[in-house]
Structure 1
Amino acid sequence: MTADPTMTTFAGLHHRPGVPLLLPNAWDHASAAALAARGFPAIGTTSLAVAAAAGLPDGEGATREQTLALALTLGAGPWLLSVDAEDGFSPDPSEVAALARELWAVGVAGVNLEDGLGPVDRHAAKIAAVKAAAPGLFVNARTDTYWSGDGDERDTLRRLDAYQQAGADGVFVPGLTDPRRIAALVRHLEAPLNILYSPAGPTVAQLADLGVRRISLGSLLYRRALGAALDAVTDIAAGRTPDGTTPTYPEVRALERNVSVSRSANASG
């Protein structure tokens, strides 16, 4: 029996009508393995967590080395991996293409590239360079018109059209939560639309009904984990028993072993 490509390839997971790819974002191998064990076939990384772990600023091109190190750690895992690469860590398309080749070589299936509201032509050139360097790498082209801009609809469409024409496999509009505008974008676009989940925005089911094909969690899980740690230590200091789920020591060690086993299997194969 031939495997269904919509379930076995990263691109295929974006083309299941009514069933968007819910992409949780990990920050180390234990978080990725735990998410995969819950049945998520694809895992993303989050640039905020990479930057915060190193004590560096997010979104300022300071974490190329750390991003590659995490990709090397996670790329061999039994999941499909998408890497948040900020703007590619360079204004030079050839340097972004070199990064793409490195990511593809360590087993990464997709990359997220943000425009940071820089010139449209420059970001389109980066996308085209990445697709030329690593044709199999799924490029999710992000525009920040809603994230850090003023949400101008014309500018959003102009940017997304240019990125599609440059070869983007999917497009990402974080910060957009208005159902009417989301539905309008879905109707306009050819590429799958990625929306960043917001607890104050539409639910996963509502986004699916709107035609969204990918729902990212971004840094939400990482920030929730930090919040849970702070809540727990506050409870302990106050003489209370912490609430919430606490994996046991053996359970965490099992995640480590599972990753090691998968790497050994990949190496022997």
Structure 2
Amino acid sequence: MRPPSATPSSFSTLHHAETPLLLPNAWDHASAVALAGQGFPAIGTTSLAVASAAGLPDGAAATRDGTMKLALLLGSQPFLLSVDAENGFSEDPDEVGEFARQLAAAGAVGINLEDGMGAVDRHAAKITAAKSAAPQLFVNARTDTYWLGGHDEAETFSRLDAYQQAGADGVFVPGLADGRRIAALVARLDVPLNILYSPSGPTVSHLADLGVSRISLGSFLYRRALGAALEAMDEISQGRRPSGRTPTYEETLSLGAPDAAVF
């Protein structure tokens, strides 16, 4: 069972600490439990990895059931769980609100909702519906102005302002990596800013200095895991011993147990 300290309010508090919340994103039970075992108090899910692992497209509302199944699997674990729910898997705000309610009932303390550069008022309505249906859930409202759009500063703030006015607890701008623009957003926002980590972007310490409150890993760890598997096969096929960290069979087996020990 989750310890008493692992509550929705403690998740919110992590967004207002002296150092940013570094949020690793998992895609299944084993990856979530292993990451939590490294001392991370909160774990997010990543829609790309959940979709890819199931052979489904990302961002197409194809993984609603898989996302809920994963939330039910992880919601009672002794870490804080935030769920990437794409656009809420519906254009109907009431349906998004109901999905948020179900996530909260499963034990999730956060939800990530992306606008996909769609209508601002519709996304704002989804945020309001989610907060109304699950007031305790930390709603992280994502805009895709840098992920899909034209990197427009004015539009980015306009969207984020609408989302924070709609009740979002935090806002997320994946793809934004310019330090000046990040700092400018932090200065104008009333809620915590979430930035997506990129190996080619600002370091964690630099993002902290800029005032970022939450740093997500998104699909990076999943893609890195795939890359490690491919590299290992290359080394083996070339007659070399594979390098890198490899958990033992027993360590990996323990990650599937109800009282899983972690490494």
TM-score, normalization by structure 2: 0.95
Letter in 2 for 1:12: T
Specify the alignment match of 1:133 in structure 2.
133
Moved more, 59-68 or 110-119: 59-68
In structure 1, the gaps of 5 or more residues are 263-269
State the secondary structure of the residue aligned to 1:10: helix
Alignment pair present for 1:261 and 2:259 = yes
Specify the alignment match of 1:35 in structure 2.
35
Specify the alignment match of 2:13 in structure 1.
12
What is the deviation of 1:106?
Answer: 0.5
Counterpart CA distance in 1 for 2:164 and 2:77 is: 30
Structure 1 pair 7/151, CA: closer, same or farther in 2 (3 Å)? same
Aligned residues between the structures: 257
Specify the alignment match of 1:243 in structure 2.
243
Specify the alignment match of 1:70 in structure 2.
70
Letter in 2 for 1:163: Y
What is the deviation of 1:7?
Answer: 11
Counterpart CA distance in 2 for 1:55 and 1:254 is: 26
Per-residue displacement from partner, 1:102-159 (whole Å, max 9, x unpaired)? 1001100000000000000000000000000000000000000000100111100110
Counterpart CA distance in 2 for 1:101 and 1:7 is: 13
Specify the alignment match of 1:59 in structure 2.
59
State the secondary structure of the residue aligned to 2:44: strand
Counterpart CA distance in 2 for 1:92 and 1:209 is: 39
Q: Percent identity?
A: 69
Specify the alignment match of 2:179 in structure 1.
179
Contact 2:6 2:78 in 1 (8 A): no
What is the deviation of 1:235?
Answer: 1.1
What is the deviation of 1:6?
Answer: 10
What is the deviation of 1:54?
Answer: 1.3
Per-residue displacement from partner, 1:212-240 (whole Å, max 9, x unpaired)? 00000000000000000011111111111
What is the deviation of 1:89?
Answer: 0.5
What is the deviation of 1:4?
Answer: 8.6
Counterpart CA distance in 1 for 2:238 and 2:99 is: 48
In structure 2, the gaps of 5 or more residues are none
Specify the alignment match of 1:22 in structure 2.
22
State the secondary structure of the residue aligned to 1:162: helix
Counterpart CA distance in 2 for 1:108 and 1:24 is: 15
Alignment pair present for 1:84 and 2:66 = no
Contact 1:6 1:12 in 2 (8 A): no
Contact 1:46 1:83 in 2 (8 A): yes
Q: How does 1:77-156 map to 2 (within 5 A)?
A: 77-156=77-156
Specify the alignment match of 1:234 in structure 2.
234
Contact 1:141 1:172 in 2 (8 A): yes
Counterpart CA distance in 1 for 2:70 and 2:254 is: 20
Structure 1 pair 147/247, CA: closer, same or farther in 2 (3 Å)? same
Structure 1 pair 48/30, CA: closer, same or farther in 2 (3 Å)? same
Structure 1 pair 6/94, CA: closer, same or farther in 2 (3 Å)? closer
Structure 1 pair 244/8, CA: closer, same or farther in 2 (3 Å)? farther
Structure richer in helix, relative to its length: 1
Letter in 2 for 1:21: L
Contact 2:26 2:222 in 1 (8 A): yes
Counterpart CA distance in 2 for 1:55 and 1:253 is: 24
Letter in 2 for 1:148: L
TM-score, normalization by structure 1: 0.93
CA RMSD of aligned residues (A): 1.6
Specify the alignment match of 1:265 in structure 2.
none
State the secondary structure of the residue aligned to 1:261: coil
Specify the alignment match of 1:208 in structure 2.
208
Counterpart CA distance in 1 for 2:32 and 2:5 is: 24
Q: Which runs of 4+ in 1 moved over 4 A?
A: 3-8
What is the deviation of 1:5?
Answer: 9.4
Q: How does 1:187-226 map to 2 (within 5 A)?
A: 187-226=187-226
Contact 1:6 1:15 in 2 (8 A): no
Per-residue displacement from partner, 1:170-195 (whole Å, max 9, x unpaired)? 00000000000000000000100000
